[in-house]
Structure 1
Amino acid sequence: MIRRATVLFLAALLPLLAGAGQAQAAGYRYWSFWERDGSAWTYATVGPSLSRPADGDVQGFRFSVSEDSGDAAKPRGAAGFDTICAKTPAKDGTKRVALVIDFGTPGDAPSGEKPPAGRTACAQVAEDATTAEALASVAKPLRYDSNALLCAIAGYPAKGCGEQVATDGKDSSPTETAETAETAETAGSAEDDGGSGPSVGLIAGAAVVVVLGAAAVWQVRRRA
């Protein structure tokens, strides 16, 4: 009888704890930076202010909500360098960088904003120019935060910068940004021990354990 009560207890506990975990799921609304390798997009390993593309390179930017680089949405469109820079002849002392700018979907847009149509541009810049400089030459105004995180391209979005959002698309933690997402994920339990205290999900899970545990004990005693 005790074994049966324990099974009932665990069966009731698992879906509730799973629900508590899902309630904590979130992503970050930000501009991701990509490099085109042949016909495929790869997530850039450095930011646009450090990247120095070569003549003929194709790079892209995509605005979306994603948890991390592993599930970030890629720029849409298959245009290559020859198509994007077809009307921009080579010039001594400069390089041409093909840029794909994808403003994302309405579902990824901040409240009250509508994403512009995607665009491509051929930036002809100095040979030592960074991607950030190439982008600035064709898609002003750009907006950065105090940590040099790219917040807006061509003025979109009008506000916000890498804010955390809940699964329903609403802002859930404006003070935490995409730039700190990877650090937060790798820090894990070390951050849980800080002054901020346990998460809501952890508290809810503990409460469920206590309540269901008491119920299981009561069932065992009642049937004994």
Structure 2
Amino acid sequence: MRRALTAVLVAGTLTGPAAAPAQAQEYRYWSFWNGGGKDGSWAYATQGPATLRPADGAVEGFRFTVGADSAAAGKPRAAADFDAVCGRTPAKDGRKRIGIVLDFGTAADAPDGERPPKARTACAQVPEDASAGEALAAVARPLRYDSHALLCGIAGYPESGCADQVKDPDRGSGSGSRSSSAGSGDGNTRKADDAHGAGGGPSAGLLGGGAAVLVLGAAAGWQARRRRG
């Protein structure tokens, strides 16, 4: 299934709401969100962090979640409040400030044997042309990728696994305890820079928002058709 997942991802950017059939397979993954304005709300990203180049004053959120569609994906539980995250970081010429909100999810959503770290925020001060992914790399290393350049871990969490199927569909917060969003999103796969290189960061590789589920669903459908064939 991983081969099919990668093939779908590299074929192009996906956008649009993710719809899943009843009792669809759930996956455990990092979702990507954009701050929605002065009210501190969140919206699914419409670009992946590799291509999104937020302006100074933006807030970007990453939430480790379990879901089968965009409506079930958990959004960051902290508000998208730039002043709270970056208010003490002075502006600098040639740099921009991006608020980063990391929500490692709930204990119920954690992989077996792991416990999610406490949620945290950081103010990334990066070059003016930096992507959201580069801002993430500036404040949340180590980032972990799989062999297909999918971003699997942020700040070392989780220690293993990458967009894994959840074996027990009742496990986690997929039955309504997570916050939900009806938005859309997309993901990218090709990693142009080594996330651990000097001054580098992920220019691609993160499954973002609802498209993560769209892609995963496409891969699952391909696998099912292959079994029937």
The answer to whether TM tops 0.5 is: yes
Match of 1:167 in 2: 169
Match of 1:130 in 2: 131
Match of 2:227 in 1: 196
Shift of 1:30: 0.4
Match of 2:104 in 1: 103
Change (3 A) 1:189 1:79: closer
Q: Is the 8 A contact 2:36 2:43 kept in 1?
A: yes
Match of 2:46 in 1: 45
Higher relative contact order (Cα pairs below 8 Å, separated by 6+ residues)? 2
Corresponding letter in the other structure for 1:167: P
Match of 2:117 in 1: 116
Change (3 A) 1:144 1:35: same
What do residues 113-172 of structure 1 show as CA deviations (whole Å, max 9, x unaligned)? 0000000000000011111111111111011223332211110000001111131439xx
Taking the aligned partners of 1:91 and 1:126, their CA distance within structure 2 comes to 10
Change (3 A) 1:26 1:81: same
Taking the aligned partners of 1:187 and 1:133, their CA distance within structure 2 comes to 28
Q: Is the 8 A contact 2:49 2:133 kept in 1?
A: yes
Match of 1:91 in 2: 92
Taking the aligned partners of 1:143 and 1:34, their CA distance within structure 2 comes to 19
Corresponding letter in the other structure for 1:145: D
Structure 2 gaps, min length 5: 1-20, 173-206
Taking the aligned partners of 1:94 and 1:189, their CA distance within structure 2 comes to 44
Corresponding letter in the other structure for 2:32: F
- In terms of fraction of residues, the more strand-rich structure is 1
Match of 1:29 in 2: 28
Change (3 A) 1:184 1:109: closer
Corresponding letter in the other structure for 1:96: R
Taking the aligned partners of 1:50 and 1:79, their CA distance within structure 2 comes to 20
Structure 1 gaps, min length 5: 1-20, 171-177, 199-224
Q: What TM-score does the superposition give when structure 1 sets the normalisation length?
A: 0.68
Q: Is the 8 A contact 1:144 1:152 kept in 2?
A: yes
Taking the aligned partners of 1:49 and 1:73, their CA distance within structure 2 comes to 21
Count residues in correspondence: 169
Taking the aligned partners of 1:85 and 1:123, their CA distance within structure 2 comes to 8
Taking the aligned partners of 2:63 and 2:220, their CA distance within structure 1 comes to 28
Q: Is the 8 A contact 2:70 2:213 kept in 1?
A: no
Change (3 A) 1:79 1:191: closer
Taking the aligned partners of 1:147 and 1:96, their CA distance within structure 2 comes to 30
Larger Rg: 1
- In terms of fraction of residues, the more helix-rich structure is 1
Q: Is the 8 A contact 1:64 1:104 kept in 2?
A: yes
Corresponding letter in the other structure for 1:42: A
Secondary structure, aligned partner of 2:63: strand
Q: Is the 8 A contact 2:28 2:66 kept in 1?
A: yes
Match of 1:182 among 214, 220, 229: 214
Q: Is the 8 A contact 1:184 1:191 kept in 2?
A: no
Taking the aligned partners of 2:97 and 2:121, their CA distance within structure 1 comes to 13
Match of 1:10 in 2: none
Taking the aligned partners of 1:130 and 1:140, their CA distance within structure 2 comes to 15
Secondary structure, aligned partner of 1:96: strand
Q: Identity over aligned residues, as a percent?
A: 56
Change (3 A) 1:99 1:27: same
Say what the alpha-carbon RMSD is for the aligned residues: 2.5
Change (3 A) 1:143 1:91: same
